[in-house]
Amino acid sequence: MKIRVKSGDSLWKYSRVFEIPLRLILDSNNLENPDQLMIGEQIQIPGYVTKSYTIKKGDTLWKLASWYGAPLDGILLLNDQNPFSLKPGEKVNIPIRVTWSLINPNQSYDYGTLAKDIRKILGVYPFIKQGLIGETVMGKPIPELVVGTGEKKVHMNGSFHANEWLTTTLIMKFVDDYARELTSSQQLSGVYLPVLYESTSLSLVPMVNPDGVDLVINGLPEEEPYRSLANEINNGNDQFSRWKANIRGVDLNNQYPAKWDVEAARKPTKPSPRNYPGKAPLTEPEAIAIADLTTRKNFDRALAFHSQGEVIFWGFEGLEPPESEILVSEFSRLSGYLPIRYVDSFAGYKDWFIQDFRKPGFTVEIGKGENPLPVSQFNEIYQNTIGIFLSSLYM
């Protein structure tokens, strides 16, 4: 929601009237100094949308404030009319606090849905920042969302594997709930959020593999040569529910230089719907984009969400720091997921992160069943994993 600055306005006044932390208003407008206001400029107020209302006979701003549960001073800030001389037919703007979810988890979550939901979230919560970390094989931009201003740097990603797209829905639900409660109740699952926002910078890449996700959900793309290539790799089968790879048949979570040669020796030797590690490590643009982001930002911990199994993998070759065991014990306590230190599988993002940075890295396998997991599992998965999301920020 945007407000045009009038004489006597201040960011402290906006914060008080709309009950929004001043820090969020500053970050929503890329301001450092709360005194940086000019009459006539527009200021974004996070967590609100504007409803246009046509005045009827007998209406007053006091009545409208009561009907809509809106702050009266907020209505006055948003409008230029004299509150004592409203005329029927006039339009006034009502500030409505967003108390509902912007994310619909009860749907197949393809790249188009992700792009649409990111636009909605950025429109309501402009303190969230978006960046693009690279492009897919087909040229789709891979978005990153950043929430928070703190020194602790936490990274989460989803949909490395195409048929595990429910992890993208999960991450988007996390960020939507986090942002909404930051601007309203300021608590989520009993955790006070402003402290997390100011102490942690959270990086989210909700969909590492957009081409693959779209293939699983929507079928073969129209564009050549990708249509023919995916069709050939899938042996002409028009069902792609078992497809994990990117559009050219490389498994992105077998692409990292962490015992890659061991995986390559026992995995498919040509493009495949699943498990082919490529001709060498880091040949695929999606895997490179995540590696470059991780190197550039030097995260303090990283969580890769996959499905399925309700387990958390947290070790690699004894290189994980002692902090990892403390964290995974808390993740397990909050989620009920089983922590597993070592597994005979290598070359994943988590493995490379631990190996190269010697910091806590985790693969969180959500839900149980056959991928793609049904959306009917989503609510249970969310309740089980919200504690992992929050504790990764506050511990």
pLDDT digits (tens, 9 = 90+) for 101-111: 999 999 999 99
Tell me what pLDDT residue 175 has. Answer: 98
Q: Within a 13 Å sphere around the CA of 149, how many CA atoms are in the beta-carbon half?
A: 12
% helix / strand / coil in the chain, to the nearest 5? 40, 20, 45
CB atoms within 10 A of CB 313: 24
Tell me what pLDDT residue 35 has. Answer: 83
pLDDT digits (tens, 9 = 90+) for 176-220: 999 999 999 899 999 999 999 999 999 999 999 999 999 999 999
Q: How confident is the model at residue 36 (pLDDT cuts 50, 70, 90)?
A: confident
Spatial separation of the C-alpha atoms in residues 136 and 140, rounded to whole Å:
5
* Longest Cα–Cα distance in the chain: 80
Q: With both helix axes pointing from N to C terminus, report the angle between 322-335 and 378-394 in degrees, rounded to the nearest 10.
A: 140
Q: How confident is the model at residue 82 (pLDDT cuts 50, 70, 90)?
A: confident
Domains of the chain: 2-97 (3.10.350.10), 111-212+281-394 (3.40.630.10)
Annotated catalytic residue 365: yes
* 55-76 average pLDDT score: 93
Spatial separation of the C-alpha atoms in residues 327 and 359, rounded to whole Å:
11
Residue from 41, 320, 365, 370 carrying the catalytic annotation: 365
Spatial separation of the C-alpha atoms in residues 169 and 164, rounded to whole Å:
10
Q: How confident is the model at residue 294 (pLDDT cuts 50, 70, 90)?
A: very high
Residue 80 pLDDT greater than 90, yes or no = no
Tell me what pLDDT residue 263 has. Answer: 97
Which residues, including other chains, have CB under 8 Å from residue 78's CB and lie 6 or more apart? 1, 3, 50, 92, 93, 94, 95
Spatial separation of the C-alpha atoms in residues 157 and 87, rounded to whole Å:
52
Residue 360 pLDDT greater than 90, yes or no = yes
Q: Which two tokens stand for residue 246?
A: 């990117």
Output the average pLDDT for the chain.
96
SS3 (DSSP) at 114: helix
Spatial separation of the C-alpha atoms in residues 304 and 162, rounded to whole Å:
14
Residue 33 pLDDT greater than 90, yes or no = no
Q: How confident is the model at residue 221 (pLDDT cuts 50, 70, 90)?
A: very high
Q: With both helix axes pointing from N to C terminus, report the angle between 210-218 and 111-124 in degrees, rounded to the nearest 10.
A: 120
Tell me what pLDDT residue 341 has. Answer: 98
Spatial separation of the C-alpha atoms in residues 184 and 6, rounded to whole Å:
25
Residue 41 pLDDT greater than 90, yes or no = yes
SS3 (DSSP) at 32: coil
Q: Confirm if 311 and 279 have CB atoms less than 8 A apart.
A: no
Polymer length in residues for the chain: 395
Which DSSP helix (H) or strand (E) runs through 384?
A: helix 378-394
Q: Which two tokens stand for residue 394?
A: 């506050």
Spatial separation of the C-alpha atoms in residues 13 and 37, rounded to whole Å:
12
Closest residue by Cα to residue 201 from 148, 128, 145: 148
Spatial separation of the C-alpha atoms in residues 172 and 165, rounded to whole Å:
11
Closest residue by Cα to residue 245 from 256, 257, 228, 233: 233
Spatial separation of the C-alpha atoms in residues 349 and 283, rounded to whole Å:
14
Tell me what pLDDT residue 196 has. Answer: 96
Tell me what pLDDT residue 234 has. Answer: 98
- Report residue 314 CA to chain centroid gap: 22
Spatial separation of the C-alpha atoms in residues 159 and 176, rounded to whole Å:
18
Q: How confident is the model at residue 279 (pLDDT cuts 50, 70, 90)?
A: very high
Cα-based angle 7, 8, 14 (whole degrees, multiple of 5): 110
pLDDT digits (tens, 9 = 90+) for 121-179: 999 999 999 999 999 999 999 999 999 999 999 999 999 999 999 999 999 999 999 99
* 38-66 average pLDDT score: 94
Q: How confident is the model at residue 86 (pLDDT cuts 50, 70, 90)?
A: confident
Residue 83 pLDDT greater than 90, yes or no = no
DSSP letter for 373, please.
Answer: P
The model's pTM: 0.96
SS3 (DSSP) at 270: coil
Tell me what pLDDT residue 165 has. Answer: 98
Q: How confident is the model at residue 224 (pLDDT cuts 50, 70, 90)?
A: very high
- Report residue 58 CA to chain centroid gap: 45
Spatial separation of the C-alpha atoms in residues 156 and 140, rounded to whole Å:
20
